[in-house]
């Protein structure tokens, strides 16, 4: 048996046969361990100690078997794809792979045997807490993190003493990779509930003329490759319309990638959508295929398109006009065949006026516009939707509950600022809080809807069915007046603009724009 010195040291001192030898007072000689073992076996034979000899031979066979199945630890660490470092129990570096040295700009020859040379060594945190520690993903000021995720995992010996600390540094590429894997999983789960063909329209519930018109538009547009812009208030069902379009399209067997443009930080959005080449920036250790390329030959949904960063809009326009994109750090265009569906609850024409949305991009997106009406504009659908969700959650929670007449009347009179999504949440709450034969009271429901049955001031969210919330004016004027009032009510009920935005279910930036539009004063501390 011929092992290198370092591997021999690792394998020998941790095997039972050599531990046995050491206990017998026969120290293993590093340069001649096989001879030491044979000498020990010969002595046991001469003394006639068959029991101890048999035990030693059994341990030797186990060792030989382990050797044949061993994993080269160093090779594993070097090819793990992780920037990896190992310290001893005192935080002194005993090993680092090439990727860790590259990311931290440390030289192994200078760092081995020394503590981590950082202001906040993660090994020190592990030693203090005696548990795994992660920095960099929670806003920590760890010098090493620099936009990365640093983890330290303790390794304890049989006596409970801290023996080693394994430190991993997740690079930007690895973070991107895990995010892509998560997106793929989410898209896979989403695709399960998408129904194909004419049956897809069954998920678009309602008998309102506007809903019937949307079904007709979907039948016309879905088989084409036209770019579609879906507009409507938050929670009105824009994603349901997008699912119907995809389910009735010729691309229904191809990828369907959904992106919330407001949920991804602007500094990551470009790389996520368009990809990048190796070496394009620090941490780009390999080529990344963007989500547009991942959706090639399929469909991509750009939700919250109104929040798409202005500086990236020319790149999106090129995808729409030329059917090609440029990865970050690449001068060669990538050809694409992607059907684009965009959705927004923002007024894009107002965004164009304020200079945050390109006019040419707007007209390229709105080739085939579809407007989803808010729930208050189709009150005849309220009870149908309520009963649909009642049945759905009744089955989920195994509860047979009904909607009494007084409850139905309140649901019809409520303006539903959160639209279908709000109704779904309210009905789920109603089912959970109700018991068979003992439904939620009207007073309880009133509290859920955030209004008092005895106190319904003019302009509140509660109106008699079929009546207008205000007298006179166009539909747009009524809408603006209603929106202005909701914002003012939210600001009165909260201590800051951010809390008011959270209460209304919109982003603070949207609230600031709307406040400016309606001449609503915001205190300086609120804006900050």
pLDDT in tens, 234-247: 989 999 999 999 99
Q: Is 489 helix (H, G, I), strand (E, B) or coil?
A: helix
**Of the candidates 106, 69, 74, 98, which has an alpha carbon nearest to the alpha carbon of residue 10?**
74
Give the number of C-alpha atoms closer than 13 A to the C-alpha of residue 108, restricted to the C-beta side.
12
Alpha-carbon 431 to chain mean position? 29
Between β-strands 324-325 and 299-303, what pairing exists: parallel, antiparallel or unpaired?
unpaired
Q: Give a yes or no: residue 453 inside a domain.
A: no
Q: What is the pLDDT of residue 308?
A: 93
Domain boundary pick from 170, 187, 217: 170
Q: Both 344 and 319 in a single domain? A: yes
**Of the candidates 478, 510, 504, 480, which has an alpha carbon nearest to the alpha carbon of residue 491?**
504
Q: Give a yes or no: residue 42 inside a domain.
A: yes
Q: Both 400 and 280 in a single domain? A: no
Extended strands (E) in 255-361: 256-260, 299-303, 324-325, 334-335, 339-344
Q: Give a yes or no: residue 143 inside a domain.
A: yes
Q: Give a yes or no: residue 464 inside a domain.
A: no
Question: Which tokens belong to 267?
Answer: 């500094």
**CATH code of the domain covering residue 429:** 1.10.8.60
**Of the candidates 124, 125, 154, which has an alpha carbon nearest to the alpha carbon of residue 138?**
125
Give the residue numbers spanning the domain of 128: 75-170
C-beta separation of 222 from 197 below 8 A = no
Q: Give a yes or no: residue 119 inside a domain.
A: yes
Domain boundary pick from 45, 70, 95: 70
Distance of alpha carbon 348 from alpha carbon 332, whole angstroms: 32
Q: What is the pLDDT of residue 66?
A: 60
CA dist 364 → 12, 257, 322, 404 (Å) = 70, 20, 12, 48
Q: Give a yes or no: residue 467 inside a domain.
A: no
Bridge partners of 95, per DSSP, are 86
Domain boundary pick from 431, 448, 465: 448
CA dist 470 → 377, 467, 483, 522 (Å) = 14, 8, 12, 26
Q: Is the pTM of this model over 0.75?
A: no
> Based on the structure, what is the number of domains in the chain?
5
Torsion angle of the four alpha carbons 22, 25, 31, 36, in this order, in degrees rounded to the nearest 10 = -100
Between β-strands 324-325 and 334-335, what pairing exists: parallel, antiparallel or unpaired?
antiparallel
**Of the candidates 404, 408, 345, 399, which has an alpha carbon nearest to the alpha carbon of residue 371?**
345
The full DSSP string for 359-400 is HHHHHHHTTEEEEPPPGGG-GGGHHHHHHHHHHHHHHHHT--
Q: Both 272 and 380 in a single domain? A: no
Q: What is the pLDDT of residue 7?
A: 37
**Phi first, then psi: what are they for 486, rounded to 5°?**
-60, -40
Distance of alpha carbon 427 from alpha carbon 413, whole angstroms: 15
Question: Which tokens belong to 242?
Answer: 């997008």
Q: Both 304 and 363 in a single domain? A: yes
Q: What is the pLDDT of residue 373?
A: 93
Residue 350 exposed, middle or buried by CB count within 10 Å (0-12, 13-18, 19+): middle
Q: Which residues of the chain have pLDDT under 50?
A: 1-33, 137-147, 173, 189-193, 451-460, 463-473, 475, 524-528
With vertex at residue 40, the alpha carbon angle to CA 38 and CA 42, rounded to the nearest 5 degrees, is: 70
**CATH code of the domain covering residue 228:** 3.40.50.300
Distance of alpha carbon 168 from alpha carbon 34, whole angstroms: 37
**Of the candidates 481, 477, 519, 483, which has an alpha carbon nearest to the alpha carbon of residue 500?**
483
Q: Both 185 and 309 in a single domain? A: yes
Q: Both 38 and 135 in a single domain? A: no
Q: Both 369 and 381 in a single domain? A: no
C-beta separation of 305 from 365 below 8 A = yes
The count of other CB atoms within 10 Å of the CB of residue 107 is 10
Q: Both 219 and 368 in a single domain? A: yes
Q: Both 194 and 321 in a single domain? A: yes
CA dist 453 → 411, 422, 463 (Å) = 12, 19, 11
Question: Which tokens belong to 121?
Answer: 């060594």
Q: Give a yes or no: residue 463 inside a domain.
A: no
Q: Give a yes or no: residue 468 inside a domain.
A: no
Q: Both 353 and 479 in a single domain? A: no
Distance of alpha carbon 528 from alpha carbon 518, whole angstroms: 20
**Of the candidates 202, 305, 316, 193, which has an alpha carbon nearest to the alpha carbon of residue 256?**
193
Q: Both 223 and 117 in a single domain? A: no
Question: Which tokens belong to 342?
Answer: 């965009």
Distance of alpha carbon 31 from alpha carbon 34, whole angstroms: 9
Q: Both 306 and 369 in a single domain? A: yes
């Amino acid at each position: 048996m011929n092992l290198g010195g370092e591997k021999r040291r690792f394998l020998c001192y941790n095997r039972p046969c050599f531990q046995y030898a050491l206990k017998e007072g026969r120290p293993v000689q590093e340069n001649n361990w096989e001879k030491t073992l044979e000498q020990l076996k010969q002595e046991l034979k001469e003394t006639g100690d068959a029991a101890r000899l048999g035990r030693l031979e059994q341990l030797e066979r186990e060792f030989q078997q382990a050797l044949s199945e061993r994993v080269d630890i160093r090779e594993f660490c070097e090819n793990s794809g992780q920037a990896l470092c190992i310290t001893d129990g005192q935080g002194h570096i005993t090993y680092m792979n090439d990727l860790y040295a590259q990311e931290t700009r440390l030289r192994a020859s200078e760092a081995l045997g020394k503590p981590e040379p950082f202001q906040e060594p993660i090994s020190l945190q592990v030693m203090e807490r005696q548990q795994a520690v992660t920095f960099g993903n929670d806003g920590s000021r760890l010098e090493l993190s620099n936009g990365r995720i640093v983890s330290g995992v303790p390794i304890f010996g049989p006596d409970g003493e801290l023996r080693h600390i394994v430190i991993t540094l997740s690079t930007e590429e690895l973070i991107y990779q895990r995010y892509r894997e998560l997106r793929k999983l989410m898209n896979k789960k989403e695709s399960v509930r998408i129904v194909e063909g004419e049956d897809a329209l069954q998920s678009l519930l309602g008998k309102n003329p506007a809903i019937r018109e949307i079904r007709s538009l979907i039948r016309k547009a879905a088989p084409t490759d036209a770019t579609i812009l879906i507009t409507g208030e938050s929670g009105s069902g824009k994603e349901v319309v997008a699912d119907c379009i995809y389910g009735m399209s010729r691309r229904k067997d191809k990828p369907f990638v959904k992106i919330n443009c407001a949920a991804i930080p602007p500094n990551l959005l470009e790389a996520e959508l368009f990809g990048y080449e190796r070496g394009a920036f620090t941490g780009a250790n390999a080529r990344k295929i963007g989500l547009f390329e991942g959706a090639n030959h399929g469909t991509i949904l750009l939700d919250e398109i109104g929040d798409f960063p202005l500086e990236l809009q020319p790149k999106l326009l090129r995808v729409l006009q030329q059917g090609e994109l440029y990865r970050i750090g690449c001068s060669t265009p990538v050809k694409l065949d992607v059907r684009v569906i965009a959705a927004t609850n923002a007024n894009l024409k107002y965004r164009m006026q304020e200079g945050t949305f390109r006019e040419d991009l707007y007209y390229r997106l709105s080739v085939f516009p579809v407007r989803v009406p808010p729930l208050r504009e189709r009150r005849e659908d309220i009870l149908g939707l309520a009963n649909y969700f009642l049945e759905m959650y009744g089955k989920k929670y195994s509860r047979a509950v009904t909607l009494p007449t007084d409850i139905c009347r309140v649901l019809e009179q409520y303006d539903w600022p959160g639209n279908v999504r709000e109704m779904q949440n309210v009905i789920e709450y109603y089912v959970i809080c109700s018991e068979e034969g003992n439904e939620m009271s009207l007073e309880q429901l009133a509290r859920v809807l955030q209004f008092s049955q005895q106190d319904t001031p003019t302009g509140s969210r509660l109106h008699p069915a079929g009546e207008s919330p205000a007298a006179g004016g166009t539909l747009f004027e009524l809408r603006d007046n209603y929106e202005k009032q909701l914002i003012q009510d939210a600001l009165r009920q909260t201590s800051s603009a951010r809390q008011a935005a959270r209460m209304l279910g919109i982003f603070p930036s949207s609230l600031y724009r709307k406040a400016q539009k309606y001449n609503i004063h915001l205190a300086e501390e609120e804006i900050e």
